Structure 1
Amino acid sequence: MTRRSFLTTTTAGFAAMAMPSIARARWAPSGPVTLVVPFTPGGSTDILARLLGQKLTEALGVGFVIESRPGAGGAIASDLVARARPNGQTLLMGHIGTLAVNPSIYPRLPYDPVKSFAPISLVAAVHNVLVVHPSLPANSVPELIAHARANPDRLSYGTGGIGSAAHIAMAAFCLSAGVTMQHVPYRGTGPAVTDLLGARIQLTMTGAPVVLPLAQAGRLRGLAVSGKRRIAAAPELPTVAEAALPGFDASQWYGIVAPAGTPVDVVETLNAEIRKALAAPELAERLNQEGAEVWPTSPEEFRAHIAAEIARWATVVRDAGIRIEQ
């Protein structure tokens, strides 16, 4: 199932969550569950992992320990989880970069996004927000594009690393707008945003949970959101598509995966509890405030989505010439 089909069938999707699944023995964790985040603390992945981890802790009665393992565009964390015992005690908060983009960037990726994992469920779609430092003479997307065209390779944008969601979003933006900028990769979103606040770089396009509060506080200037429609958390911001680039869509998505070979009862128990957590009004409202939308799926739907996204972003990676030599 694609993101479009999910977002147009929200009512049916939540109704389906209330339907009982095929009866199986319920799995219970034998101790704390480690939820590995492939980036530094403070980014969208970390924020979502902690919100969901708290709910799962309450539901399953064991602690969900959030462990950050940054590096190599999420490949280090992904490989760690792929090699873990398939018993449900070690999970990965995967996202668009680790599960869909990395195969096109790393010639010798140590894991296979499709074969190395047992998908549990998508968790959320997070809109990227295009923000610039207030000193940049651009108050709209058209003005930013005009400024970039007049100053090729003079602007620099920061991201959480080569192949990160922000990198791919900005690469897609530059391709669509016909502009060239300098990419400055960091070891996480947090450090990139810190340098943006200090005007050491000029812009980024990354998850709303991280930069939207800064834009609303006036410390950054928000220009647009990256998805197909505006978000409730910032209805005043146009989409990139309506502002200047029709058809543009570069939102992030996140989901939980376990090592391949994880037993069916473990997958089904985790899927059911994630669905319940995402159906809770307080969590959905909190995610909306963060610029995110809940997106629960079946394991099969998540697996199909990963395969489709790998094909989709391979085109952007190829056209932008993004590659890491190993």
Structure 2
Amino acid sequence: MTLASKLIAITFGVMASFGVVAQTFPTKPIKIIVPFAPGGSTDIIARSMADPLSKQLGQPVIVENKAGGGGSVGALEVIRAPKDGYTLGIATVSTTASNPAINAKIGYDPLKDFTAITNIAATPNVIVVNPSFPARDFKTFMEVIKKNPGKYSYASSGTGGIGHMQTELFKSLTGTFIVHIPYRGAGPGLIDVVAGQVPIMFDNLPSALPFIKDGRLIPIVIAAPKRLAQLPNVPTFAEVGLAPANRMAYYGLLGPAGLPKDVVDKIYAAAQKAALDPAVRKRIEDTGSIINVNGPEAFSKEIAAEYATYKDVVTKQKLELE
């Protein structure tokens, strides 16, 4: 064999080896980082998908909770991981849009430091009030807060969280003023609204729904594509003329920037098949969420749109970290 022939053979051998690596991914367990504590909507959706993804990919898929910094601790671990597909993360509006929009020192750029793989599910958000609040519907709610600027307050999961930023978006659209009371998580804030310590909250539907059902919270308006079967008398923001506020929370898969396309495509295909499992669909939909496996390009655009929206809110409302 001539030297040229040997070089050609070596070149094709190396190329073939790379092809085998791409085709055989994954060859070891995959870790999915949930950037919040166990038990919340983000954690439930991640764990609902873990076993079905494992079956599709042929390797264990392990969920690991890395809470802190409003989701930034877990997000930073994802971007620092090797670009091989073995460490992924769950993307939320808080980690990829609202927190980065208000916190210039968060340590990452949501548009440059991640590879979007696919959204998994979207969750409606709802404005709720304590039964002591003098309104039971959207029209009366607006009349009350417009006549009493600064009199009423609202709870949130903390400055920069989705509840804070969605309420500020609502305020900017309606020209109203209600006072922000940040909590260390949505759970404590919701408890105080149920107890009547704070009258208003813009919360994920899954956590608010049980209190709505037993009459301890009153739903006013919801961010969803259409009215929900669980709340048929509650209008959407689009119906009341506030379409820009009609934004659901997303929960998707992402990896560090520069993830190889073959790896992204394989994980996306596995997620598509996993979401077809009736048990997976039921578990996710039972939380009040909607399955939305949309792929890398669509999910990347979704993240960019949310980030741009909340950057604009920060500017218009002159928001700063408290």
- Residue in 1 aligned with 2:14? none
Q: Which string of whole-angstrom CA distances, capped at 9 and with x for unpartnered residues, describes residues 222-257 of structure 1?
A: 222113421233333221332464654132122110
> Displacement, 1:29?
4.9
Q: Do 2:41 and 2:287's aligned partners in 1 also have CA atoms closer than 8 Å?
A: no
Q: Which string of whole-angstrom CA distances, capped at 9 and with x for unpartnered residues, describes residues 253-294 of structure 1?
A: 221101123333332221111111222334334433332221
Q: Is residue 136 of structure 2 the alignment partner of residue 139 of structure 1?
A: yes
Letter in structure 2 aligned against 1:294? I
- Residue in 1 aligned with 2:169? 172
In the alignment, the residues of structure 2 paired with residue 26 and residue 155 of structure 1 have an alpha-carbon distance, to the nearest angstrom, of: 58
> Displacement, 1:160?
1.7
- Tell me, which stretches of 5 or more residues in structure 2 are unaligned? 1-21
Distance change >3 Å, CA 146–CA 112, structure 1 → 2:
same
Q: Do 2:122 and 2:250's aligned partners in 1 also have CA atoms closer than 8 Å?
A: yes
- Residue in 1 aligned with 2:196? 199
Distance change >3 Å, CA 246–CA 302, structure 1 → 2:
closer
- Tell me, which stretches of 5 or more residues in structure 1 are unaligned? 1-23
Q: For 2:302, which of 298, 301, 305 is the aligned residue?
A: 305
Q: What's the TM-score, normalizing by structure 1?
A: 0.83
SS of aligned partner of 1:233: coil
Larger radius of gyration: 2
In the alignment, the residues of structure 2 paired with residue 140 and residue 87 of structure 1 have an alpha-carbon distance, to the nearest angstrom, of: 50
Paired-residue identity, %: 34
Q: Which string of whole-angstrom CA distances, capped at 9 and with x for unpartnered residues, describes residues 180-215 of structure 1?
A: 112122232222222222222222112111111221
Distance change >3 Å, CA 195–CA 321, structure 1 → 2:
same
In the alignment, the residues of structure 2 paired with residue 197 and residue 34 of structure 1 have an alpha-carbon distance, to the nearest angstrom, of: 36
Distance change >3 Å, CA 282–CA 118, structure 1 → 2:
same
- Residue in 2 aligned with 1:266? 263
Letter in structure 1 aligned against 2:307? I
Letter in structure 1 aligned against 2:157? G
SS of aligned partner of 1:108: coil
SS of aligned partner of 1:257: strand
Distance change >3 Å, CA 141–CA 59, structure 1 → 2:
same
- Residue in 2 aligned with 1:34? 31
Distance change >3 Å, CA 124–CA 259, structure 1 → 2:
same
Q: Which string of whole-angstrom CA distances, capped at 9 and with x for unpartnered residues, describes residues 88-144 of structure 1?
A: 232211112221233321122311112211111111221101111122222012222
In the alignment, the residues of structure 1 paired with residue 60 and residue 196 of structure 2 have an alpha-carbon distance, to the nearest angstrom, of: 39
Q: Do 1:40 and 1:188's aligned partners in 2 also have CA atoms closer than 8 Å?
A: no
SS of aligned partner of 1:235: coil
Q: How do residues 98-109 of structure 1 correspond to structure 2 at under 5 angstroms?
A: 98-109=95-106
What is the total number of aligned residue pairs between the two structures?
301
Q: What's the TM-score, normalizing by structure 2?
A: 0.84
Q: How do residues 33-182 of structure 1 correspond to structure 2 at under 5 angstroms?
A: 33-60=30-57, 62-182=59-179
Q: Which moved more, 1:262-271 or 1:212-221?
A: 262-271
Distance change >3 Å, CA 311–CA 246, structure 1 → 2:
closer
Letter in structure 1 aligned against 2:98? V
SS of aligned partner of 2:89: strand
Distance change >3 Å, CA 314–CA 247, structure 1 → 2:
closer
In the alignment, the residues of structure 2 paired with residue 120 and residue 247 of structure 1 have an alpha-carbon distance, to the nearest angstrom, of: 25
> Displacement, 1:168?
1.4
SS of aligned partner of 1:323: coil
